């Protein structure tokens, strides 16, 4: 990983700033691995500003720099030269102003691990900046808690949202049809699924989209479903969400940035808090996440082409963002169990997720909305750090 630019501040009363900076960086070698001293204008180009306070007497300089950077900050202090007293005073003042700031003290034995987490959170924010995100059709009317403030997200994350009429989705002619075992779908449904995939792939290319969500239920009157298309595109590095849900789409984009692969967006269909188990289900799943699949019809409508997949077992992080500015978050590490649910009253892909004690009770008591995303691996610390610095209210 290329070292992240670091703004170094120090009082002239303490002598040569460059000499002291070199001394501090040598004393804590992990700093040099992830950070490098740089001018303020270079730090200003980063989504997360890292600032090292070499000495006391730097409070006003830090406040001035924070005003110029206008971004979340990580303020780093060390045990000498009154660095920590200055950091405590300045961080408190910044928080009073509503700034998002984290204080990292090098005297903390966990500082190396925390810095790594913060650098990964910064990399997540960097990966999102400049992305064009499509919203194809109007969000489904039942998403009453999942319609975030798009201008606020554009400002905080550097995204650009592009609204695209659903009518632009028309199946394109295709030669090769999807292959796999099937229950209800016939050749017409396979051709439709492949044609919708080709249409959405064309829209992604024409609009230069990095991700999109589609109001897929709006396709049903035309006997079309997008389930196969979303599964294919997710495996091609295009996070693709259902029902116009932007909050869930952002979680899918974080999954792609974190792992280089897709997440699984689903409905929590059943929860057993005492048993610490929940069933998640949806009619589409990225093919790279499953150990096998069967083609089925879309659950609610009985139309079209959907996927009943067997999600690979192992560790996953369950994610949900909520609130008008996605200022609330739910991040839980658990595991997908090797159990088949096999219910006909749920969406076609069905997964059993084992959660830590108390997590599912919290989900029921403090819900943030319907759709949750499973991300392969353990990522709670990085996601919480990202959320706290870029989305949570200051």
Of 108, 128, 148, the position where a domain reaches its end is 128
Over residues 91-146, the pLDDT tens digits come to 999 999 999 999 999 999 999 999 999 999 999 999 999 999 999 998 888 777 77
Q: What pLDDT, on the 0 to 100 scale, is given for residue 394?
A: 63
Parallel, antiparallel, or unpaired for β 264-272 and 372-376? Answer: antiparallel
pLDDT at 13 over 80: no
Say whether both 122 and 148 belong to one domain.
no
Average pLDDT over the chain, rounded to whole? 95
How many domains in the chain?
Answer: 2
Of 73, 98, 128, the position where a domain reaches its end is 128
pLDDT at 2 over 90: no
For position 197, which CATH number holds? 3.20.14
Radius of gyration of the chain (CA): 24
Say whether both 116 and 181 belong to one domain.
no
How is residue 109 annotated by DSSP? T
Say whether both 332 and 306 belong to one domain.
yes
For position 112, which CATH number holds? 3.40.50.10940
Cα–Cα distances in angstroms (integers) from residue 20 to residues 25, 49, 180, 247, in the given order? 9, 21, 65, 45
Over residues 186-206, the pLDDT tens digits come to 999 999 999 999 999 999 999
Q: At what angle do helices 227-235 and 187-207 cross, to 10 degrees?
A: 50
Q: What are the start-end ranges of the H helices in the chain?
A: 17-27, 29-34, 40-43, 59-69, 83-96, 111-128, 150-157, 187-207, 227-235, 246-259, 359-365, 380-390
Say whether both 249 and 345 belong to one domain.
yes
Say whether both 73 and 217 belong to one domain.
no
Say whether both 60 and 86 belong to one domain.
yes
Over residues 289-321, the pLDDT tens digits come to 999 999 999 999 999 999 999 999 999 999 999
Say whether both 181 and 275 belong to one domain.
yes
Is-above-0.85 flag for pTM?
yes
Calculate the CA dihedral of residues 89, 91, 92, 97 and round it to 10 degrees.
130
Of 128, 143, 165, the position where a domain reaches its end is 128
Say whether both 327 and 245 belong to one domain.
yes
Say whether both 164 and 64 belong to one domain.
no
Average pLDDT over residues 169-186: 94
Say whether both 146 and 274 belong to one domain.
yes
CB 225 within 8 A of CB 306: yes
pLDDT at 17 over 90: no
Domain carrying residue 66: 4-128
Q: What pLDDT, on the 0 to 100 scale, is given for residue 15?
A: 65
Q: What pLDDT, on the 0 to 100 scale, is given for residue 33?
A: 93
Say whether both 164 and 107 belong to one domain.
no
Say whether both 376 and 311 belong to one domain.
yes
């Amino acid at each position: 990983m290329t070292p992240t630019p670091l703004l170094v501040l120090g009082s002239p009363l303490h002598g040569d700033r460059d000499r002291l900076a070199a001394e501090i960086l040598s004393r804590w070698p992990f700093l040099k691995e992830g950070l490098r001293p740089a001018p303020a204008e270079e730090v200003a180009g980063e989504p997360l500003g890292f600032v090292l306070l070499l000495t006391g007497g730097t409070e006003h300089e830090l406040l001035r720099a924070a005003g110029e950077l206008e971004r979340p900050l990580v303020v780093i202090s060390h045990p000498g030269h009154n660095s920590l007293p200055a950091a405590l005073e300045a961080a408190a003042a910044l928080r009073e102003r509503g700034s998002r700031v984290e204080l990292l003290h090098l005297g903390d034995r966990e500082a190396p691990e925390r810095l790594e987490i913060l650098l990964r959170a910064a990399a997540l924010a960097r990966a999102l900046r400049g992305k064009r995100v499509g919203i194809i059709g109007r969000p489904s009317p039942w998403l009453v808690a999942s319609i975030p403030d798009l201008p606020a997200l554009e400002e905080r994350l550097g995204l650009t949202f592009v609204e695209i009429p659903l009518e632009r989705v028309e199946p394109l002619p295709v030669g090769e049809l999807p292959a796999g075992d099937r229950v209800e779908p016939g050749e017409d449904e396979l051709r439709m699924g492949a044609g919708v995939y080709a249409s959405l792939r064309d829209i992604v290319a024409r609009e230069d989209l990095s991700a999109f969500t589609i109001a897929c239920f709006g396709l049903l009157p035309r006997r079309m479903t997008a389930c196969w298309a979303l599964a294919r595109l997710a495996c091609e590095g295009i996070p693709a969400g259902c029902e116009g849900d932007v909050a869930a789409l952002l979680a899918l984009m974080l999954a792609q940035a974190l792992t280089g692969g897709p997440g699984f967006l689903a409905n929590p269909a059943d929860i057993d808090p005492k048993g610490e188990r929940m069933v998640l289900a949806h009619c589409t799943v990225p093919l790279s996440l499953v150990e096998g699949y069967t083609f089925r019809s879309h659950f609610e409508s009985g139309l079209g082409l959907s996927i009943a997949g067997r999600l690979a077992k192992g560790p996953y992080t369950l994610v949900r963002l909520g609130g008008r500015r996605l200022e609330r978050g739910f991040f839980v590490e658990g595991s997908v169990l090797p159990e088949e649910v096999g219910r006909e009253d749920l969406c076609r892909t069905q997964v059993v997720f084992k959660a830590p004690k108390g997590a599912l009770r919290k989900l029921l008591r403090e819900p943030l909305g319907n759709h949750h995303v499973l991300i392969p691996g353990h990522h709670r610390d990085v996601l919480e750090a990202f959320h706290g610095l870029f989305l949570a209210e200051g």
